[in-house]
Structure 1
Amino acid sequence: MTLRLYVSLLLFFACSLSYTPLRAQISPTTSTAEANPFAQAAKDTALQKKKNTDWDEAPARIQYTYYNSEVPHYFDSSLLFFHRNQYTQPVWYKDLGNWGTTARNLMFTTNTRPGMYLGYNGWDVYKYTIDSLPFIHTTRPYTSFSFMLGSKQLQWVELMHTQNINPRWNFTFKLANNVSDGFFNLQRTSGFNGFFSTNYKSQNERLRTKFGIIFNNFKQDENGGIRNDSFLTEPLYKNRISIPVRFDNQGIAATRSDVYNRQRNNLFFLENSYAWGKKDSIYNNDSTKVTYSFTPRFSIKHVISLEHTRHQFTDGSPDSVNYLYAGNFSFKVSDTLKSVQNWTSLDNKFSLNTFLGKDSQQVKIEAGIGYRKDFFRTIAYIPNIKDSLFNFDNVYLFGQIGKEALKPQQWTYLANASFFFLGQSAGNLNVSGTLSKRFLNLGQITLGAMQSINDPAYYTQKFRTNFFELNNSFAKQTTTKVYGRLLIDRWKLDVSLSNQLISNYIFLNSDQHFEQYSPAFSILQLAARKRFTFGAFDLDNEAVWQQATNNAPVHVPVLMLRHQLAYKLPIFKGRLDAYLGLEGRYHTAYYADGYSPFYNQFYYQDNILINNRPELSAFFNFKVKRLRAFVTGDQLQQLFWTKNVMQAPGYPAPNVYLRLGFNWIMMN
């Protein structure tokens, strides 16, 4: 185990010393959208305002909200899809054939965030972000510990702890660590992520504070992919680590590659708001208890955030053939090629807010101004050559009008806008709106639209190593999206339709150069999910159809399918919850994007067609009180077909392998 894994385990046992496991019951929960999109939100009555003594005696209840939202969420304790929830990418993501490697979404997406940014989005799916931070309220200390082991030294551990210091102040932290050697030579990965969040509300409910610290750290050894996928069917290479790879300068005896990518990302933010409004005292039926009520009418809010990202590419034994796209170089044996880019962004914004309507149906109107300063630094690593330093100042306006459905059958509507009017990013904007409502005995309907104009990623315009420098000048990219979703509870049917219109699209071509495709093109996507339940059997089906137009430099599989059949086992007369099941995934043949280690980026190619067999897995999930566990066999189709599924040209999926893990919830 790594040192970080030991540290995480020690923290876990330190937190658990004061606990008596399995004493209190968790409040009703809803499953995640991945687990069950048809579940109704549970109502938690323990969060009504009480005196401190009453709060201390309340039964265990826990709920959380996300940043910029007051809609309550509840932790998922379901079992049917538990084997999917252990540090995996969303269902349609594809990595490079090893746990924690750079990944891309087979459902086409593009960046729509206004303002400048560094780029390097290959690890975004694993990151903690400000929008994913939970701000929790719990009446008991709550700890969640997850652990997983798998083939080829796969290890993953996650620890989350949260507790309320008092009824108005909570803190939460989470740590996650993963390592995996992989089935193929020189493809080891590691990641260490975590966050700390706290939220505070004053006794009179006027002052509110949210604070968070996030860190993400990823590293992957680069082997350049296998030299030929025909090796996958040759008996000589039954042991996959012996298959020749592109970056094998050290031979198959090496355990670490001379070529690697590494990224560190840190974020700090602090939000303070102070409100004025109507205060009231509410008595119970016999007038023995009184609760304080406050309805905000006007508030001021200030948010400051500081984000730093560092990306490093290192080639310890560069080969001139690999860098012909940049020029003709003659490397010495002692040479090391490096590219290190840093981005620091300081964002400071102030807003005025007003609230209209009753407490549970309040409409929030926000308007504000923000100032952002972005620093970009590329380290030269060349004697007598200065680092590349650039800094940019930007000023922007932002606003929001919205009402959330805090009670059943209420309308939810939200409109957001941000516009940069001064600085390098002048002209950038993002405008979006959604409208949603859940209808009794029917389901939920959601409609939305979005328009964005955003700067190109910095590294697509300026890329520098200690041997060469590449510069480009690109126009801003524009994206227009309209979408709708229909959720019918009675039929257990979830259908969504979206269309994206994109122009000035920036991509990496097969010659390892960035290009901009100016004509507008659209991506139409239709997704559907249907569940059938008959007796002890559960059949879950998903399908996605998507199509790009106008000869755009985008390749996506036209059709993607996922099916899961599970059987609820009657173990110990129902005293033990358990599911046994099979899952299959398939997508139609297409020219999958290749992967460039030099940019840590996928690139467009139309020479290699990826035509895979369906992927199969089997699982056994079981639950004893608040302990959930799973055993999963992945890539089982290789029991029938020898060749590995190809994730990208040169990057096969693993062999048949086993994963087992558990999640243990403790509450005092």
Structure 2
Amino acid sequence: MRQIFIFIALLLLCGNQLVAQFNSGRINNMGGGGGGTSKMQRDTSKHEHEPDTLTLTYRILGEPTDYKLDSSVADFQTNYLKVPSSYTTLGNTGSAAYNMIYTPRMKPGFDAGFHAYDVYSNSHKDARFYYTTRPYTELQYLVGSKQEQVIGLSHTQNRTERFNFAFDYRKINAPGYFRSQNTNHDIYRFTARYQSKNKRANTYLSFYYNKINGGENGGIRSDTFMSNSTYKQRKTIPVNLGNDASTTYAFFGGSIPVKSNYRETGFLIQQQYDWGRGDSIHVNDTTDYYKYNPIFRVQYTFNYQNNNYEFLDSSPDTTFYSSHYNFLPGDTVSAKHQWKMISNDLSLIQFPVLGNLGHFINIGARFESLTGTFLDADINFTNLAVHGEYRNKTRNQKWDFSARGEFYVVGQNIGDYGFYGMLKRHINDFLGDVRLSVSNVNKEPSYVFKYFNSTNDAWYNTSLSKENITQLQFATENKKLDYTLTANYFLFTNYTYFKDYYHSDQYNSLFNLLQITFSKKFTIKPFNWYVDIAFQQLHGNGPLNVPTFWTRNRFAFEKRLYTNLNLMTGIELRYNTGYYADDYSPLTGQFIYQNAAKISNSLPDIAAFANFRIKSFSAYVRAENLNTFFGDNNYAGPLYPYNNFAFRVGLRWWFIN
């Protein structure tokens, strides 16, 4: 605890300094309502700005659109925890999780198949490349019941007009309410971008390291313990794994007797060289701005990934392994899948309309080399894929059309392909945006479905065919009326899944899923009602279980008080209809299909909250799982109950230098 008190003291000290600095800064819309999306002020010239103004934007790879940071305090889940509210965990912060609003993986090519902890991890896909006129730093700290703690640190700055770097770190540490449930994650990211003086060459660098330590207890041994007054202290309830092992807690260490131990490292560097037309723009009497408009671009991308997925049980429970995995364990049970991939991608890009980087044609090829290492064997293979994209995002922002495809012509994944098409139209400010899209992917099942081994057993499934998934989507977004509506229609063929704790299977017949999601903010000042609803209906007998209805409702009082206090306080309710929620296999790290135990929670998850922002300081105060005062604990899955009542305080500071 000593380190924690020292850290809090440092944060408070920094907080006083940053508030003083931010008081002198000029930030647009920072005094708006607590539920609004606040934007950093744009410096129109990007060269001459007042000493205390800030321009802060970012981009992601392959997307020509600039994005801005959101300083809203409206959504604790998304803005602070960075875990969507529709995700369900195994009951503890940082534990294995999946989305109840079903989202299939629609990407061709090789996939190891370990995704239970993806929601906490970084990837190149969500890497941010910033532009900022002044150094920007953000600090986060959360403390909750049972010694739960989350720390976040972000910093970005432009060393020169042409070079920017950014660093992010996130620590998630939660011992949990039940035995052998500890989680201890360290998530790192570094990004940088560089542009040559003549603006013809650009370099983007992305690095991440995900260190995941997820405690696995296999669930409690019986539901009856939850209603037994002898076990009001949840740590005394017997669990299936790690029941008799000793667990030590430390914020920067500690021991987890049964755990999924994932290490994911990614390094990507993308280099671009442009041919086009440059021009000097006269800003004022002392400043000229040199602008370069590319016509043709050569782009090279190097990508290295080293992913190590391990499971370790140092004191295995004989009964659990014999009944669920059909083997008698030794002194330890472990499993290991390590994958290394090196890929080289060369793309040629043309911009048909001078000055519009959102209108381009991209064709290219990618060569991949992969190596897999297991406890008893190694494997090597290669892939060659070709890809292309046509994108036309008009300058007036009214039309956005995209068509892209990818096809594996040689290698282990030969025959894999993916196609995506999208048409978006901004009608007007009152009617908003409408988007139509279609996607189709044909891919090899993830490798974990085809082979898995541990210290006690190994199995192969060589009869799997390629999966095929089609998605048709209609979506509309209206900022004026403050709602979004999305309708998805999925078609599945050769759907691959785990039929039990250790074996995969494939459903060869066609089945489909209709999915409609709706979000809306209703306002009667100073009260707001935020509603999120999802409806899902399965057609056919496919081995996929989803709740028919899922909803989250936040009833909030929001108002700006005094000069700088933006307050949002109210009640949050989250509920889903009963369904056969997925079970979880700790050894393989997979959610598995089951139709024996239906999860029907009688009460919604209830939380009371008070969120507020004072200039550059935000705070989230939450009392969660209030429903446990009126009824039994809700369940995430078979034998996986949610926590008891929990109290959380989250703090967020940001400042400019």
Q: Same fold (TM over 0.5)?
A: yes
Structure 2 match to 1:586:
575
Compare 429-438 and 618-627 and name the one that shifted more.
429-438
Q: Is the Cα contact below 8 Å between 2:247 and 2:257 reproduced in 1? A: no
CA contact (8 A) 2:72 2:79 kept: no
Cα distance in 2 between the residues matched to 1:538 and 1:242: 42
Higher mean alpha-carbon deviation, 59-68 vs 141-150, is at: 59-68
1:87 corresponds to 2:81: yes
Counterpart among 406, 421, 432 of residue 420 in structure 2: 432
Matched ranges for 1:384-399 at <5 A: 388-399=377-388
Instruction: Give matches, 1:468-483, under 5 Å.
Output: 468-473=457-462, 474-483=464-473
The within-5 A match list for 1:37-436 is 45-46=42-43, 48=45, 50=47, 54=48, 57=51, 59-82=53-76, 85-250=79-244, 258-284=257-283, 289-324=287-322, 329-332=327-330, 335-360=331-356, 362-380=358-376, 388-404=377-393, 409-436=397-424
Once the two structures are superposed, residues 297-344 of structure 1 have per-residue CA deviations (whole angstroms, 9 ceiling, x without a partner) of 001010001011101111222344433478764545xx2121111001
Structure 1 range deviating more: 149-158 or 243-252: 243-252
Going from structure 1 to structure 2, the CA distance change for 1:491 and 1:249 (only over 3 Å counts) comes to closer
Letter in 1 for 2:21: P
1:385 corresponds to: none
Moved more, 61-70 or 549-558: 61-70
How far the C-alpha of 1:88 sits from its partner, in A, is 4.5
Give the counterpart letter for 1:25 in structure 2. Answer: G
Question: Residue 185 of structure 1 contacts residue 252 of structure 1 at CA under 8 Å; is this kept in 2?
Answer: no
Range that drifts further, 543-552 or 4-13: 4-13
Give the Cα–Cα distance (whole angstroms) in 1 for the partners of residues 363 and 320 of structure 2: 51
Q: 1:318 and 1:118 mapped to 2: Cα distance?
A: 26
User: Matched residues in 2 for 1:8 and 1:453: separation?
Assistant: 50
TM-aligned CA deviation for residue 222 of structure 1: 1.6
Counterpart of 2:616 in structure 1: which amino acid? R
CA distance in 2, matches of 1:645, 1:66: 38
| Partners of 1:599 and 1:7 in 2: CA distance | 37
- Aligned counterparts of 1:402 and 1:363: Cα–Cα separation in 2: 5
CA distance in 1, matches of 2:112, 2:8: 30
Kindly state the Cα deviation for residue 574 of structure 1 after the two structures are TM-superposed. 4.7
Q: Residues 150 and 660 of structure 1 are in contact (CA less than 8 Å); yes or no, is this contact kept in structure 2?
A: yes
Check conservation: 1:8, 1:157, Cα contact below 8 A.
no
Query: For 1:535-554, what per-residue CA distance to the aligned partner results, in whole angstroms no more than 9, with x for missing partners?
Result: 10011111110111111101
Which letter maps to 1:315? D
Alpha-carbon displacement from aligned partner over 1:84-120 (angstroms, at most 9, x marks no partner): 5322521111000000000011111222221112111
Change (3 A) 1:331 1:645: closer
Work out whether residues 414 and 433 of structure 1, in 8 Å CA contact, stay in contact via their aligned partners in 2.
Answer: yes
Task: Measure, in 2, the Cα distance between the counterparts of 1:183 and 1:602.
Answer: 21
- Larger mean Cα displacement after TM superposition, 105-114 or 607-616: 105-114
Stretches of structure 1 lacking an aligned partner (at least 5 in a row): 381-387
Query: 1:384 — aligned with what?
Result: none
Determine the C-alpha separation between the residues in 1 that align with 2:217 and 2:349: 53
State the superposition RMSD in angstroms.
2.8
State the Cα distance separating 1:533 from its structure 2 match.
0.8
Question: Is 1:461 aligned to residue 450 of structure 2?
Answer: yes
Aligned residue in 2 for 1:550: 540
Alignment of 1:594-613 (within 5 A): 594-612=583-601, 613=603
Distance apart, 1:288 and its partner CA: 5.1
Contact in 1 for aligned 2:59/2:66 (Cα 8 Å): yes
- For residue 502 of structure 1, the aligned residue among 476, 492, 504 is 492
> Is the 2:246–2:257 Cα contact (8 Å) retained in structure 1?
no
Q: Which moved more, 1:359-368 or 1:544-553?
A: 359-368
Looking at structure 2, the residues matched to 7 and 471 of structure 1 have their Cα atoms a distance apart, in angstroms, of 49
After TM superposition, give the deviation of residue 232 of structure 1 in Å. 1.4
Change (3 A) 1:305 1:331: closer
2:351 match: secondary structure: strand
Q: What letter matches 1:412 in structure 2?
A: D
Q: State whether structure 2 residue 558 is matched by structure 1 residue 568.
A: yes
Q: Distance in 1 between matches of 2:40 and 2:53?
A: 14
Change (3 A) 1:391 1:635: same
Q: Distance in 1 between matches of 2:298 and 2:448?
A: 37
CA distance in 1, matches of 2:5, 2:589: 26
Shift of 1:147: 0.4
Residue in structure 2 matched with residue 449 of structure 1 by the alignment: 438
User: Aligned pairs, how many?
Assistant: 647
Q: 1:48 is matched by which residue type in structure 2? A: S
Distance apart, 1:447 and its partner CA: 1.2
Deviation at 1:248, TM superposition (A): 4.7
User: Counterpart of 2:371 in structure 1: which amino acid?
Assistant: F
- Equivalent residues of 2:336, 2:374 under 8 A apart: yes
Aligned-residue offset at 1:282 = 2.1
Using the alignment, how far apart are the partners of 1:447 and 1:253 within structure 2? 51
Q: Residue by residue, what CA displacement relative to the aligned partner does 1:565-592 show, whole Å, maximum 9, x if unpaired?
A: 1102564x35421111111011111111
Verify the 8 A CA contact 1:420 1:427 in the aligned structure 2: yes
CA distance in 2: counterparts of 1:7 and 1:118, whole angstroms:
38
Deviation at 1:49, TM superposition (A): 5.0
Paired with 2:2 and 2:410, the residues of 1 have a C-alpha distance of 47
Equivalent residues of 1:29, 1:74 under 8 A apart: no
| Change over 3 Å in CA distance of 1:648–1:290 after alignment to 2 | same
The AA in structure 2 aligned to 1:534 is I
Q: How far apart, in 2, do the equivalents of 1:90 and 1:550 lie?
A: 28
User: For 2:528, what is the secondary structure of its paired residue?
Assistant: strand
| Partner amino acid, structure 2, of 1:263 | Y
The whole-number CA distance in structure 2 between the counterparts of 1:367 and 1:2 is: 56
The one-character-per-residue Cα deviations of 1:247-297 (angstroms, maximum 9, x if unpaired) are: 25416888755322111101000000000101112224x765422121110
Flag the 1:26–1:303 CA change in 2: closer, same or farther, 3 A: farther
> Displacement, 1:231?
1.7
How big is the shift at 1:15? 12
| C-alpha contact 2:77 2:84 (8 A) present in aligned 1 | no
CA offset at residue 455 of structure 1? 1.6
Residues 23, 531 of structure 1: alpha-carbon distance in 2 compared, 3 angstrom cutoff: closer
Change (3 A) 1:330 1:159: closer
The corresponding residue for 1:21 is 21
Is the CA contact (8 Å cut-off) linking 1:64 and 1:136 kept in structure 2?
A: yes
1:637 partner SS: helix
Q: Which deviates more, 108-117 or 367-376?
A: 108-117
Q: Distance in 2 between matches of 1:64 and 1:327?
A: 47
Deviations 1:146-193 (A, max 9, x none): 000000110000000000011121000001111111111121111000
Aligned partners of 2:123, 2:246: CA distance in 1, in Å?
Answer: 38
Shift of residue 378 of structure 1? 0.1
Q: Structure 1's 558 and 372: CA in aligned 2 closer, same or farther, altered over 3 A?
A: same
CA contact 2:405–2:417 (8 Å) conserved in 1 = yes
Range with bigger deviation, 65-74 or 303-312: 65-74
Task: Report % sequence identity.
Answer: 28
Residue 210 of structure 1 and its aligned partner are, at CA, apart by 0.1
Partner of 2:639: 650
CA contact (8 A) 2:92 2:181 kept: yes
Q: TM-score, with normalisation over the residues of structure 2?
A: 0.92
CA offset digits 1:36-86 (Å, max 9, x no partner):
6xx6x9696426353xxx468572211111111121111111122246532
Is 1:26–1:61's contact at 8 Å kept on the other side of the alignment? no
TM-score normalised to structure 1 length:
0.91
Whether the aligned pair in 2 keeps the contact of 1:501 and 1:521 (CA below 8 Å) is: yes
Give the 3-state SS of the residue equivalent to 1:70 in structure 2: coil
Q: Which moved more, 1:316-325 or 1:651-660?
A: 316-325
Residue 252 (structure 2) aligns with: none
